[in-house]
C-alpha cells in the first residue's frame, strides 16, 4: 500500500488486518472530521476527542466495511453516530449561540449563531453540503435515504438557515 492508494483499498487492507494502513487514512481525513465536529459543536476539545472516537470505532468495527462501501460515506456515518452518542451521554455540551438580543459584531458571527440554532439534523445537512461539498447523491448515501429526501432536506435546511440568519441580522 502506498500513499497513492484509494481510501477504499486502504480500508480493505485495514479490514484484513493491516491496521498500520489506518495511519494514511488518519492523515487524510482527521482535519476534515475535526472541521465537521467543530461546525457541529463549536467546541475544539470535544471535536478533537470525537475524531479519536471515530478512529477507535473504525478499528473496532473494521469488519463491517464492505467492498461496495464508499469510504467517505462510511466514515461520516461513523462520525454522525459518534456525535449523536456523545450528545446522548451528554459528554459534550449543547452549543449555545448568543441570544438574538446581543449586538452583532459581524455577519459571520450572526450566521454562525444561525447555524448553531438550526436543529441538529438540519445543521449537519448544511455542513455536509456547504463545507464538505457533498452532492445530494452522497448525502443520500450517507444518510441512507432516497435521493429526493436528501434533496428536499438540504433545500429546507438552506431556507431555514436563511430565515434564521435574516432574523439574527436584523
Q: Check binding of 135 to another protein (CB under 8 A).
A: yes
Q: Which of 1, 85, 131, 146 touches another protein by CB under 8 A?
A: 131
Report the number of secondary-structure helices (H) and strands (E) in the chain. Answer: 8, 0
Q: Which of 22, 86, 95, 145 touches another protein by CB under 8 A?
A: 22
3-state helix/strand/coil string of 130-153: HHCCCCHHHHHHHHCCCHHHHHHH
CA angle, residues 62, 67, 68, in degrees to nearest 5: 120
Contact indicator for 158, 126 with CB cutoff of 8 Å: yes
Locate 130 and state its grid cell.
456547504
User: Which residues, numbered 91-110, are part of the site for another protein (CB under 8 A)?
Assistant: 107-108
d(CA 163, CA 124): 17
d(CA 51, CA 31): 9
Contacts of 37 (CB under 8 A, 6+ apart): 46, 47, 50, 51, 79, 83
Q: How far is the CB of 73 from another protein (least distance, A)?
A: 16
Which part of the chain contacts another protein (CB under 8 A), choosing from 66-74, 86-94, 97-105, 151-159? 151-159
User: Which residues, numbered 24-83, are part of the site for another protein (CB under 8 A)?
Assistant: 26-28, 30-31, 34-35, 38-39, 44, 47-48, 51-52, 55-56, 59
Q: Check binding of 120 to another protein (CB under 8 A).
A: no
Q: Check binding of 20 to another protein (CB under 8 A).
A: yes
Please report, as ranges, the residues that interact with another protein according to CB under 8 A: 17, 19-20, 22-23, 26-28, 30-31, 34-35, 38-39, 44, 47-48, 51-52, 55-56, 59, 107-108, 111-112, 115, 126, 129-131, 133, 135-136, 150-152, 154-155, 157-159, 161-162, 165
Amino acid at each position: 500500500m502506498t500513499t497513492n492508494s484509494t481510501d477504499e483499498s486502504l480500508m480493505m487492507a485495514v479490514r484484513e488486518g493491516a491496521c498500520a494502513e489506518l495511519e494514511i487514512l488518519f492523515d487524510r481525513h482527521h482535519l476534515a472530521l475535526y472541521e465537521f465536529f467543530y461546525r457541529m459543536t463549536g467546541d475544539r476539545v470535544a471535536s478533537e476527542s470525537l475524531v479519536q472516537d471515530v478512529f477507535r470505532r473504525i478499528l473496532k468495527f473494521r469488519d463491517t466495511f464492505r467492498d461496495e462501501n464508499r469510504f467517505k460515506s462510511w466514515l461520516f456515518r461513523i462520525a454522525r453516530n459518534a456525535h449523536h452518542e456523545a450528545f446522548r451521554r451528554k459528554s459534550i455540551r449543547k452549543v449555545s449561540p448568543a441570544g438574538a438580543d446581543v449586538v452583532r459584531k459581524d455577519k459571520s458571527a450572526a450566521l454562525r449563531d444561525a447555524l448553531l440554532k438550526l436543529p441538529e439534523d438540519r445543521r449537519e445537512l448544511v455542513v455536509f453540503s456547504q463545507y464538505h461539498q457533498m452532492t445530494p447523491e452522497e448525502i443520500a448515501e450517507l444518510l441512507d435515504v432516497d435521493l429526493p429526501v436528501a434533496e428536499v432536506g438540504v433545500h429546507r435546511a438552506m431556507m431555514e438557515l436563511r430565515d434564521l440568519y435574516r432574523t439574527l441580522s436584523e
